[in-house]
Amino acid sequence: MKKYTLFLFAFAFVLGLFNINVNSVSAQTTSPTINSFTPAFGPVGTTIKVNGSGFAPSAMVFFMSVEAGGGLQVPATVVSSSEIQFVADIDPYSPFGAYYIVVANNYGSPFARSSTNFMLTELNPQIDYVYDSQFGTLGFSNGEFYLPSAVALDSSGNIYVADKRRVQKFNSSGVYQSQFGTVGSGNGQFSEPVALAIDSSNNIYVVDFSLNRVQKFNSSGVYLSQFGSAGSGNGQFNQPSDITIDSSGNIYIVETGNHRVQKFNSSGVYLSQFGSAGSGNGQFNQGVGIAHDSLNNIYVTDMANNRVQKFNSSGVYLSQFGTAGSGNGQFSQPTAINVDSSGNILVAEFGNHRVQKFNSSGVYQSQFGTAGAGDGQFVQAVGMTLDSSGNIYVVDFELGRVQKFTVTRPTVTLTSYIKGTGTGSISSTPELGSCNSTTKSCSVTVPKGTVVTLKSVNLPANSTFVGWSGACSGKNTCAVTVNADTSVTATFNLLRTILPTVEITASPNTISAGDKSNISWTSTNATVCNSSGNWPASRSNTRATSGSLSVNPTITSTYSLTCINSGGTGKTASTTVTVTPVIPTPQPVKVSLSIQGDGEITSSSNVQFVCDNSTVGYTNCTASIVPGTSVTFTESHDADNNIFGGWGGGMSGFEEGTSCSQTREKTFDATCTITIPNDPNTLIIGNFIQAPTKSTAPTSSLQNFLASVVLVAGIPWTWVIVFIALIIILIINYVVVNRKKGGK
């Protein structure tokens, strides 16, 4: 049993008032530490393993409701200094929900409190029953029944059914196996067997309503012993109607006629009794059915009072539930009763032709069965038992059959929605599937009464979880007991975005090739900056949020910088360094000027030639001139004695007469303007020719013509004379040849 003390609530009050955390330390003892615990949730009875350090052999565990602020000390097993185990219990002053786990090595010593909560879930999940099968018909043959009233199962799943004169055995599928008993009052005989019970050794106890006794048989139906006789004394019976055997082997018999319950040991020796005639607490008016739970509490159906009363193993009245009627939780002649492994209470009714289910506190949960002879219907449901799987077998007294109902948990759906301007996901147990800001919704179908835990996960830096709505509230992990189709909504919103800024400059922003520029940058609301463009290849593209760098680009280059805030939003700025190429100054080249004949050539004033007259008939001059320089050459001569024959030269791209004007006029000087190429072998030639000798004799027209030819063409007279001689020879030859032809 749980023990509650004022200390517990004072302890909880101190925790809440001062918000003491796991690292609270006292000067007297080193504080224990809780690192983790498993599982994260479960019903009452769940074994919780706590891992940490500093657990003393005498360490105590307190299980404290977050909502109610109170708690209780629970028995704990200290496995080692780093592990404690205990069984989850429930604070009677708080609902199911979140609980702290608190470990203290001694009263008043430092303690540790879990940083997360254990979720205590529903004690009795919703369970329903559906018709499965049946066996037996009215009759007296093997496998047939005449007014059956009781049913029980052994540890192998064999089914025993008592009717008016015998007990028959069936396998788990309802196939007849054997029987024992006959009509009579001798050992092993029956007059009106109404109840059966089987102990841990598979011995069979049969209650005989009319003979006021209980007989014991082994698993083969062999008579072993009996106890009880007619009467109202200790160990005597007046219309015993039902039997149950607790975990200690004690036998409880409820009597309709004596309005009481008697308790016997496993040998049938009387121990005690409780109950009397009446309608008050602990009194009975035709107690008919009896059962016990895992704590050996006793439940009795009070048929005429239309209620169920609960007693402890000593027969002390604890509580009751039920009133007369046909509504949920009401009764009309309740008869058989059983308690399942989860503490749920099942009650069969004569008058309402049904079986109702209640939780361990007597709260109505569900029902099955209606009046009739069809599958799943009842005329007079009088006997009932459960197998190890929780399936229910119900005896119908008037129809002579046993029906089996299987356990089923109706399914319900929990749908989760995600909304808001931000992004995030929901994780759950059981798993909801993919549930995030992209899918927008997800759902899980679970048995009715399942507890689903939900929490927000995968929050990016730019979003925040606003909280739950619908079946959940707040912002913490949520546990939803899903008893009907329901929904929950998680809202994620974007954080207010502060955009980054970035400035980048180059100083100077225009340089000559080979010079340097300094790149400087600053940013705000940024966590990192990334460079792109023409930054030096030897450096990483990740930059500090402010800084500077000296660069010496060889060509015009752009430097870009993108600075990013914590939410991933970036801002980019750029600067350009213009590089002016350096054009090298060309070196002077040697230019030669050759003057042939008797004349003079001068150059423009920006060039000075040095001349050599040592060669007869030639004057050779040289000068160093920067390529690209424009130079004008001017010839002068004695017009009476010389003729300027023209310009010449062997430099690349310069031929005689190219870009230069020439004249044969004696009274004019010839000029030539050229741009000096980048050629060290530039040669410029000026040619002067001696003019013909003047004569006073009259000249013929031929002489004047020849003189003009010689003057204009600049051909030597010797060549002219030879040319004339050749013409004369050709003329003579022509005359001679024609005469010969004529003589013929």
Lowest mean pLDDT among 334-338, 498-502, 602-606, 627-631: 602-606
* Nearest in space to 109 (alpha carbons), one of 3, 2, 5, 11: 11
pLDDT at 432: 72
Residue 93's domain is classified under what CATH number?
A: 2.60.40.10
The reply to whether 381 and 467 lie within a common domain is no
The reply to whether 559 and 623 lie within a common domain is no
Q: Looking at the domain assignment, is residue 290 inside a domain? A: yes
CB atoms within 10 A of CB 446: 17
Beta bridge partners of 160: 152, 169
pLDDT at 388: 83
Residues contacting residue 645 through CB under 8 Å, at least 6 positions apart: 596, 597, 687, 688, 689, 714
CB atoms within 10 A of CB 640: 8
Q: Are the C-beta atoms of residues 362 and 318 closer than 8 Å to each other?
A: no
pLDDT bracket for residue 447 (50, 70, 90): confident
Q: Containing domain of residue 540, as a range?
A: 501-579
Q: pLDDT tens for residues 48-100?
A: 889 999 888 888 888 777 655 556 677 788 888 888 887 776 554 445 566 78
Does position 419 have pLDDT exceeding 50, yes or no?
yes
Most confident range (mean pLDDT) of 453-457, 635-639, 659-663 is 453-457
Tell me how far apart the 2 most distant CA atoms of the chain are, in Å.
199
First to last CA, the chain: 172
* Nearest in space to 358 (alpha carbons), one of 413, 287, 307, 395: 307
Tokens 């909304």 — which residue?
419
Does position 257 have pLDDT exceeding 50, yes or no?
yes
Does position 16 have pLDDT exceeding 50, yes or no?
no
The reply to whether 72 and 183 lie within a common domain is no
* Nearest in space to 203 (alpha carbons), one of 187, 232, 223: 223
The reply to whether 306 and 375 lie within a common domain is yes
Residue 136's domain is classified under what CATH number?
A: 2.120.10.30
pLDDT at 58: 84
Q: Are the C-beta atoms of residues 364 and 356 closer than 8 Å to each other?
A: yes
Identity of the residue numbered 696: T
Q: Are the C-beta atoms of residues 182 and 166 closer than 8 Å to each other?
A: yes
Annotate 564-598 with three-state secondary structure.
Answer: ECCCCCEEEEEEEEEEECCCCCCCCEEEEEEEECC
> 243: which 2 tokens?
């039997």
The reply to whether 174 and 77 lie within a common domain is no
Q: pLDDT tens for residues 163-195?
A: 988 999 999 999 999 999 999 999 999 999 999
Does position 597 have pLDDT exceeding 80, yes or no?
no
Q: pLDDT tens for residues 448-484?
A: 767 788 888 888 877 889 999 998 888 888 888 887 8
Q: Looking at the domain assignment, is residue 191 inside a domain? A: yes
pLDDT at 94: 45
Q: Looking at the domain assignment, is residue 369 inside a domain? A: yes
The reply to whether 133 and 65 lie within a common domain is no
Tokens 């931000």 — which residue?
422
Rounded to whole angstroms, the Cα distance separating 474 from 160 reads 54
pLDDT at 101: 87
The reply to whether 177 and 216 lie within a common domain is yes
Q: Looking at the domain assignment, is residue 673 inside a domain? A: no
The reply to whether 242 and 318 lie within a common domain is yes
Domain boundary among 92, 120, 148: 120
Q: Looking at the domain assignment, is residue 189 inside a domain? A: yes
* Nearest in space to 75 (alpha carbons), one of 89, 91, 54: 89
Q: Looking at the domain assignment, is residue 703 inside a domain? A: no
Beta bridge partners of 378: 371
Annotate 350-368 with three-state secondary structure.
Answer: CCCCEEEEECCCCCEEEEE
Average pLDDT over residues 611-638: 77
Rounded to whole angstroms, the Cα distance separating 613 from 618 reads 7
pLDDT at 121: 61
What proportion of the chain, given as a percentage, has pLDDT over 90?
A: 42
Average pLDDT over residues 656-684: 59
Phi/psi for 708 (5° steps) reads: -65, -40
Q: Are the C-beta atoms of residues 651 and 679 closer than 8 Å to each other?
A: yes
Q: Are the C-beta atoms of residues 332 and 316 closer than 8 Å to each other?
A: no
The reply to whether 315 and 220 lie within a common domain is yes
Phi/psi for 386 (5° steps) reads: -125, 145
pLDDT at 664: 37
Q: pLDDT tens for residues 558-574?
A: 999 999 987 788 899 99
Pick the more confident residue, 595 or 639.
595
The reply to whether 248 and 136 lie within a common domain is yes
The reply to whether 375 and 252 lie within a common domain is yes
Identity of the residue numbered 302: D
Q: Looking at the domain assignment, is residue 716 inside a domain? A: no
Q: Are the C-beta atoms of residues 564 and 500 closer than 8 Å to each other?
A: yes
Domain boundary among 437, 466, 494: 494
Please give the tally of structural domains in the chain.
5
Domain boundary among 99, 120, 141: 120
Beta bridge partners of 612: 620
Residue 515's domain is classified under what CATH number?
A: 2.60.40.2470
Q: pLDDT tens for residues 522-558?
A: 999 888 898 888 888 766 688 888 999 999 998 899 9
The reply to whether 144 and 216 lie within a common domain is yes
Q: Are the C-beta atoms of residues 490 and 426 closer than 8 Å to each other?
A: yes
Q: Looking at the domain assignment, is residue 730 inside a domain? A: no
Does position 328 have pLDDT exceeding 90, yes or no?
yes
Pick the more confident residue, 702 or 211.
211
Does position 630 have pLDDT exceeding 60, yes or no?
yes
Please state, in angstroms and as integers, the Cα–Cα distance from residue 404 to each residue in 181, 290, 336, 376, 396, following that order: 25, 20, 15, 8, 11
Q: Are the C-beta atoms of residues 674 and 631 closer than 8 Å to each other?
A: yes
pLDDT at 744: 52
